[in-house]
Amino acid sequence: MGGARPKAVVEDDEALWIAKFGRPDDRYNQPRTEHALLELAKTCDLNSADSRLTTVADRDVLLVRRFDRERVESGYRRHRMVSAVTLLCTDDDATARTDWSYLLLADEIRRVSMQPEDDLRELYGRMVFNAAISNLDDHPRNHAIVAKEEGWRLSPAYDLTPSPVIAQDNRNLALDCGLQGRSANKANLLSGSGRFLLSREDAERLFNAITETVRSQWHAVMRRAGVTEADCERIARAFLYDGLLFDG
């Protein structure tokens, strides 16, 4: 498996899982925090990958169920999967950032999805969720479409991590999220709502619902996942930073 963090594919009686390990230089418990964010996304009525926690040599390990493989009697059926890197005809190198855009991704999903209205509403909700938790690593390889039968659909969300950075006036997502570029604030997030087949009013209702759920639930979800109070304090700045609510 690719990516910056250590991981491996493992198997149990039910499915294939991606095992994601912590690193010695982690500032907080990454496996438990990512599991909690996948659960928090579900609390926001978003479709996120199934996950669970286990321990190996007394260390926490996150298991994320592979949604591109399905257990069948003869082994595993492989579902087609295409990342946003391919959909956007771009690269994952930072020099290609001009092509990284939720709006352009929405255009492509509208073109290929079997249920574009549902998938675009889901994509918009994820964009807001990433802004609300300061998931600033939402690059194109962390978005995908999958075809389990004939038609393409937006895949479940995965690789959700908080970035408790210092800045409070503005934070940038990895992809353009509105007409003003990557700025993760309400005004910008609402500015391109039509590209997601949403009216501005519907987009604002979705924005308000997700941010309020994150506000009221993030700490409780973290604690249920076994994230320590000390780690909650370390990542608290990631949630609903001051500039997110700018709507001028």
Return the residue matching tokens 């910056």. 4
Domain boundaries defined on the chain: 7-65, 69-245
Percent of the chain predicted with pLDDT > 70: 99
The full length of the chain comes to 248
Exposure b/e, 139-162, CB count within 10 A at least 16 = b: bbbbbbbebeeeebbbbbbbbbbb
The CATH class of 7-65 is: alpha beta
Cα–Cα nearest to 15, from 69, 84, 87: 69
Asked whether 44 and 125 are in contact (CB, 8 A), the reply is: yes
Q: Whole-model pTM above 0.85?
A: yes
Model confidence at 2: pLDDT above 90: no
Per residue in 153-193, pLDDT (tens digit) is 999 999 999 999 999 999 999 999 999 999 999 999 999 99
Give pLDDT tens digits for 99-128. 999 999 999 999 999 999 999 999 999 999
The confidence score (pLDDT) of residue 129 equals 98
> Which residue in this structure is represented by tokens 């020099």?
95
Give, in words, the CATH class of 69-245.
Answer: mainly alpha
